[in-house]
């Protein structure tokens, strides 16, 4: 059609205005205020340059630890979410009779508020809670822990809960990717005498790669944003053992140190931007390939 004039940009205005005022403006504002000492305790806001960032990266406080925890939380959860999600997707893709019910069950945790999941797992992970009872019941007494208070396991426990929540989501995404692979490839490979393992490494994995990449990137974004699970389970404790960037952002906010809170948000934002750049790289490579 020649005349595109009818598609007036007026139709974009409501969404554009809402998004600009309530999303972009706060993000840009956050950048600005991260260079200030904006605080509930001070009458004026002064520009202090990089001081907040210096404090984050060079002070002996918990800030650097929270960044480290966030990154390792992201790394470990991404690996396990994808790995377990892949195994489940492969199992369900085998033509199980109860595939639909199983898919419904595994995806269910993703439908629940992370905060509720956190509260539920406080009861499950207690010293006398159901998890330890199950471990004792099957004779694995030495594996029992006080999951939410012991120094060496507590961060791992929060990761476990997050993995539990997101495995089904990964399974669904990967399952959809698996279903885009044409059956004819497998039939041809069988005729050529390729075994199941060879079919898996030579057909399934290469064709699944784009899906796995996207799922990985989305998982990384979820990981960097972690807040509710940890806020509910441990609130960053004991001590600062499970402190992550977003729990610190909230703590600074509640103490009225808004400038610092914004600077920490920016650090998380910068990591996310790096991932966004990764998306761009991946998608442009795919376009070049197709």
CB of 102 to another protein, least distance (A): 6
Closest distance between another protein and the C-beta of residue 64, in Å? 20
Closest to 231 measured CA to CA, from 117, 75, 79, 61: 117
> Cβ closer to another protein: 60 or 197?
197
Q: Does 18 bind another protein (CB under 8 A)?
A: yes
What residues form DSSP beta bridges with 47?
A: 36
List the beta bridge partners of residue 36: 47
Task: Please select the residue that binds another protein; options are 124, 178, 181, 203, rule is CB under 8 A.
Answer: 124
14 near another protein (CB under 8 A): yes
Distance separating alpha carbons of residues 271 and 248, to the nearest angstrom? 16
**Phi and psi at residue 153, in whole multiples of 5°?**
-110, -15
Residue 174 near residue 86 (C-beta atoms within 8 A): yes
Q: Which residue has the tokens 């057909």?
A: 203
Among 128, 152, 192, 195, binds another protein (CB under 8 A): 128
Helix (H) or strand (E) holding 150, with range, is none
SS3 content of the chain, % helix, strand, coil (to 5): 70, 0, 25
129 binds another protein (CB under 8 A): yes
**Long-range Cβ contact pairs of 277-282 (< 8 A, separation 24 or more):** 278/217, 279/217, 282/210, 282/213, 282/214, 282/217
Interacting positions 130-189 with another protein (CB under 8 A): 130, 133, 164, 168-169, 172-173, 176-177, 180, 186
Based on CB atoms, which residue is closest to another protein, 151 or 260?
Answer: 260
Please say which residue, 26 or 239, places its beta carbon nearer to another protein. Answer: 26
- Judged by CB under 8 A, does residue 53 bind another protein? no
Q: Which of residues 250-279 bind another protein (CB under 8 A)?
A: 250, 253, 258, 261-262, 265, 268-269, 272-273, 275-276, 279
- Would you count residue 97 as binding another protein (CB under 8 A)? yes
Residues numbered 190 to 249 that lie near another protein (CB under 8 A) are 190, 211, 214-215, 217-218, 221, 225, 227-228, 232, 249
């Amino acid at each position: 059609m020649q005349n595109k004039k009818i598609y007036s940009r007026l139709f974009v205005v409501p969404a554009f205005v809402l998004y600009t005022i309530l999303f972009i403006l706060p993000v840009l504002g956050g950048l600005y205020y991260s260079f200030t000492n904006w605080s509930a305790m001070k009458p004026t806001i002064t520009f202090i340059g990089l001081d907040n960032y210096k404090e984050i990266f060079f002070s002996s406080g918990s800030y650097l630890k929270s960044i480290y925890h966030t990154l390792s939380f992201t790394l470990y959860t991404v690996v396990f979410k994808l790995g377990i999600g892949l195994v489940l997707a492969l199992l369900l893709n085998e033509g199980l009779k109860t595939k639909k019910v199983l898919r419904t069950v595994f995806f269910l945790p993703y439908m629940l508020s992370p905060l509720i999941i956190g509260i539920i797992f406080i009861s499950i992970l207690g010293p006398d809670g159901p998890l330890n009872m199950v471990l004792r019941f099957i004779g694995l007494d030495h594996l029992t822990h006080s999951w939410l208070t012991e120094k060496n396991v507590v961060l791992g426990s929060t990761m476990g809960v997050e993995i539990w929540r997101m495995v089904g989501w990964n399974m669904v995404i990967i399952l959809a990717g698996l279903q885009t692979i044409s059956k004819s490839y497998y039939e041809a490979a069988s005729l050529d005498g390729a075994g199941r393992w060879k079919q898996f490494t030579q057909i399934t994995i290469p064709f699944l790669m784009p899906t796995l990449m996207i799922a990985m990137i989305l998982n990384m974004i979820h990981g960097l944003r972690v807040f509710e699970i940890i806020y509910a389970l441990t609130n960053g404790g004991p001590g600062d053992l499970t402190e992550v960037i977003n729990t610190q952002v909230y703590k600074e906010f509640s103490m009225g140190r808004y400038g610092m809170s914004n600077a920490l948000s920016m650090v998380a934002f910068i990591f996310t931007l790096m991932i966004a750049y990764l998306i761009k790289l991946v998608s442009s490579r795919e376009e070049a390939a197709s």
